[in-house]
Amino acid sequence: MKHVNTSVNIAGVTFSNPVIAASGTYGFGREYGNYVDLNKLGGISVKGLTLLPREGNMPPRIAETPSGMLNSVGLENPGVERFISDEIPFLSQYDLKTIVNVAGNSIEDYVNMTLKLNETSVDMLEINLSCPNVKHGCVSFGVSEQGVYEVTKAVKEVSKKPVIIKLTPNVTSIASIAYKAQDAGADGVSLINTITGMKINVKTRRPVLYNNTGGLSGPAIRPIAVRMVHEVYQAIDIPIIGMGGITCLSDALEFIIAGASAVMIGTYNFMNPYLCEQIVIDLIDYMKHNNIDNIKEMVGSLRLNG
Ligand SMILES: Cc1cc2nc3c(=O)[nH]c(=O)nc-3n(C[C@H](O)[C@H](O)[C@H](O)COP(=O)(O)O)c2cc1C
């Protein structure tokens, strides 16, 4: 059977296919590596890292919701130094691209982490301006055009790696925010992070999550995420990585048709740890059966009605 080209180039980095594990749902790949051939994935975006280790929020910090989940993990992570010493050597064994999800309380945090990561073999930085579960920094930059502009510019000034900006959906116009990221020099954007939500225990009349609110993810948010990728694709020229509730190839294709050059798979990894690899297999099959030689033909191929 004929060969199909699934590779995508995002900001000079060539991924063997457009399927990437989403930050916070795949750890540093170790646990999944026991079950899945990590070489088959296009890439992994590692758990959000901060300058210093963080324990995250108090439990309960996960709650199930219809077609999704709420989480308020609060960026529990070993810190960037431990990532560099312990996790990069592990990930380097595999033929997949490593994206580092960088979170900070201040512009200096983002800059300092970028400087440390400059000297490593990681492929790309994903600047997390969208974590809703920490009190300072992060999403407080991501909800304002100026905040996004300032962090992006500062990181781009020092980064030796391509920089993509991870956007929050908790804004009035995600397209305007994406435009500001591009304006400040971003090499790409990824979207969406979780949508802020709340679940209440009616017996105790208390929120189920200790943090009161959390980020909603999973299939429940997919139509919103697809709509946002569509809007952002019309507003910018840099590549988009789309995510939000992908459970199968067809879901992934929605994002690609809306304008995403690649997709990230998050919450559904918890339902099916083989999902990323399965979507790659299904994509190759789909392309062969539909005479699509190159995945790029599908990016932004949406035919609007009317
Ligand atoms: C438990 C959990 C932890 C997450 N941690 C991070 C994180 O550290 N950094 C980040 O940018 N996004 C994080 N996310 C957001 C996901 O990467 C993704 O943007 C979001 O969940 C939407 O995709 P999905 O519906 O496929 O999960 C997390 C999501 C979940 C469910």
**Is-cis flag, bond preceding 60, omega within 30?**
yes
pLDDT at 1: 60
The whole-angstrom separation of Cα 77 and Cα 64 is 23
Atom of ligand 1 nearest to the CA of 128: 11
Ligand 1 pocket check: which of 19, 25, 151 to mutate, most ligand atoms within 8 Å of Cβ?
25
- Residue-range domain boundaries for the chain: 8-298
Distance CA 134, CA 116 (A): 23
Task: Point out the ligand 1 atom lying closest to the alpha carbon of residue 191.
Answer: 19
In contact, 21 and 269? CB cutoff 8 Å = yes
Q: If you measure from the C-alpha of residue 193 to the centroid of ligand 1, how many angstroms do you get, rounded to a whole number?
A: 6
* Whether the CB of 134 sits within 6 Å of ligand 1: no
**Mean of pLDDT values over 161-187:** 97
Which ligand 1 atom minimizes the distance to the CA of 166?
A: 11
φ, ψ of residue 64 to 5 degrees: the values are: -80, 145
Show which residues are catalytic.
Answer: 131
Q: How far is it, in rounded angstroms, from Cα 298 to Cα 85?
A: 39
If pLDDT is split at 50, 70 and 90, which confidence band does 2 have? confident
Least-confidence region, from 119-133, 187-201, 202-216: 119-133
How many Å apart are CA 9 and CA 2, to the nearest integer? 22
Reported as a single tens digit per residue, the pLDDT across 18-44 is 999 999 999 999 999 999 999 999 999
**Per-residue pLDDT band at 301 (split at 50, 70, 90):** very high
Over residues 273-289, mean pLDDT: 98
Q: CA Rg, the chain, in Å?
A: 18
CB atoms < 10 A from the CB of 31, how many? 11
- Fold exhibited by the domain 8-298: TIM Barrel (3.20.20)
pLDDT surpassing 70 at residue 243? yes
Residues 229-234, mean pLDDT to the nearest whole number: 98
Mean pLDDT on 281-293: 97
